[in-house]
């Protein structure tokens, strides 16, 4: 009976790892697409008011932690 629970745990861990990897690839793909297709992404007067993410990431990370 205990072994069946362990198999389920391994399956859930595997699915969670696969979902995490898929999410990471999607996020990197979206970031790359935005950098290639949005003009002036890191400029101050960008029409869509998007900012360069490198400055924001440090602020967000420090605010969360």
User: Over 90: is that where the pLDDT of 31 sits?
Assistant: no
Instruction: Give 1 or 49, the one with higher predicted confidence.
Output: 49
53-62 residue pLDDT tens:
665 565 556 6
Query: What is the pLDDT averaged over residues 31-57?
Result: 77
Count of domains for the chain: 1
Q: Between 64 and 49, whose confidence is greater?
A: 49
List the domain range (segments joined by +) for residue 14: 2-64
Sign of CA dihedral 61, 18, 36, 50: negative
pTM summary value:
0.58
**Model confidence pLDDT, tens digit, residues 5-30:** 556 678 888 889 999 999 989 988 98
CA-based nearest residue to 52, from 38, 2, 24, 5: 38
């Amino acid at each position: 009976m205990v072994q069946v629970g362990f198999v389920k745990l391994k399956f859930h861990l595997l699915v969670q790892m696969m979902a995490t990897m898929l999410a990471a690839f999607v996020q990197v793909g979206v970031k790359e697409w935005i950098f290639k297709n949005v003009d002036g992404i890191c400029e101050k007067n960008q029409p869509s008011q998007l900012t360069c993410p490198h400055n924001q990431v440090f602020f967000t990370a420090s605010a969360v932690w």
